[in-house]
Amino acid sequence: MKNLINKVLGLCLILIVVSCKQEANKSKNESYQLEGQIAGLVDGTVVKLVPGATHSSDSAVAETALKDGKFSFSGKLEEPRFFYIMFGNNKGAIPAMLENSNIKIAATGMVSDSENGRISFKDEVVEGSESHDYYLKETAFRNELNKDYQDYHKGTEELVKIYAKARVDGNKKIMDSIENMPEYKLFEQKEKAFFDKVKLTSENLITKHKDSWWGPFFMLTQYSYFTPEQKPVFEQFSEAAKNSYYGKVAREELYPKSLIGTNVANFSLKDKDGKSFKAKDIISGKKYILIDFWASWCAPCRKEIPNLKEAYKNYSDKGFEILSISIDKDQKAWHKALGQENMPWPNLYDDGKVSNSFKVKAIPATFLVDENGVVVEDNLRGAALEEKLSELLKS
């Protein structure tokens, strides 16, 4: 009898545990429900849900409009994702990490009186997303970095401005004079220390999360653009991290699919003066053209320019041309770099669409194109470029 009672009690306990597990599974959200309450913006303001942390200009996955200051989105995610809630046709945004849960966002929007009508936000609150809370916690160091940046610039604002203008104007006399000033030398020391700190902090954040999707996610958010130098950073990740959504995004940027054999000449872009040029016109009459994607801030790109000049000097009279395309977001920075580098070949400004069509995710990115606009080789730099041109353009 006692054994029978024990068996019955054991069965009841099993049923209670199973029931609790079932209730726990029911309570776990299988989708997300995002509810927003925004003060200060008029009804009818467009609201879009746009993927972030991808280094691409992604299209919105959902769109709605404010009604009584409210909006909502719902959907299902395989793993947490970073989004921008964009307002008023990309006039302003609130970032948020979404996961399968009930999430509430509140803020007050303020529309600028300027012509562009930019929207800024204050009193932003995101509730109901543990991933968002963790994201804020892990990136709180940015507040300290922002303070460091402001601190080391204090007292040297005017000096830095004069130096920047002299560099744009190519006035080496003024540049040399400022570089020899003790206060400017101290500024340079502090600036180097600041960027060393930024680099170390970013690397530590990524390495800390090398075994989960957070690792490649933070890699995408800490680097505004990838260069081949970031490949070892990616290779440290676990297989689970590499195969996560953000792991796949990072892998595609660092190891893009080859375009060899593809015709890529059907595009046009503008130069620094706003004049439009068609790629096929630049290619016309040439045997081989190196299409070079670069940016003023990309150190490996700038380091490669002397090699490009050497190749241009040796082979331009044999039918070789170079077309450099800048992906700079700041056109003024691009103009300044053009003045410094003095490249004697066509230089055009990317519109976002061309670099995407070439699947450019990391720079420098080069594509050697034949007279028909077909890619015959990619990622040629330095000695490899010289060797290939020597092979193709033998006298």
CATH (domain of 340): 3.40.30.10
Whole-number pLDDT of residue 8: 44
CB 42 within 8 A of CB 70: no
**Do 279 and 220 fall within a single domain?**
no
Whole-number pLDDT of residue 237: 97
For helices 214-222 and 245-254, give the axis angle rounded to 10 degrees: 50
**Which H/E stretch holds residue 381?**
none
**Do 120 and 146 fall within a single domain?**
no
**Do 162 and 249 fall within a single domain?**
yes
pLDDT digits (tens, 9 = 90+) for 66-112: 999 999 999 999 999 999 999 997 889 999 999 999 999 999 999 98
Q: What is the CATH number of the domain that holds 88?
A: 2.60.40.1120
**Do 318 and 211 fall within a single domain?**
no
Whole-number pLDDT of residue 13: 45
Q: Which residue in 48, 27, 173, 155 sits closest to 101, CA to CA?
A: 27
Work out the number of other CB atoms within 10 angstroms of the CB of residue 242. Answer: 19
pLDDT digits (tens, 9 = 90+) for 138-155: 999 999 999 999 998 888
Give the domain extent around 208.
141-254
Residue 5 lies in a domain: no
Whole-number pLDDT of residue 24: 42
Q: Please give the tally of structural domains in the chain.
A: 3
Domain endpoint, select from 104, 127, 150: 127
Work out the number of other CB atoms within 10 angstroms of the CB of residue 209. Answer: 17
Residue 26 lies in a domain: no
Nearest 5°: phi and psi at 232? Answer: -60, -30
Residue 70 lies in a domain: yes
**Do 279 and 384 fall within a single domain?**
yes
pLDDT digits (tens, 9 = 90+) for 7-42: 444 544 444 444 444 444 444 679 999 999 999 999
Could you identify the residue written with the tokens 């953000």?
A: 246
Q: What is the DSSP letter of 67?
A: B
**Do 122 and 185 fall within a single domain?**
no
**Do 375 and 310 fall within a single domain?**
yes
pLDDT digits (tens, 9 = 90+) for 185-236: 998 899 999 999 999 999 999 999 999 999 999 999 999 878 778 899 999 9
**Do 272 and 194 fall within a single domain?**
no
Higher pLDDT: 261 or 6? It is: 261
**Do 280 and 387 fall within a single domain?**
yes
The pLDDT of residue 292 is above 60 = yes
**Do 111 and 36 fall within a single domain?**
yes
CB 372 within 8 A of CB 380: no
Domain endpoint, select from 254, 285, 319: 254
Domain endpoint, select from 85, 103, 127: 127
**Do 284 and 242 fall within a single domain?**
no
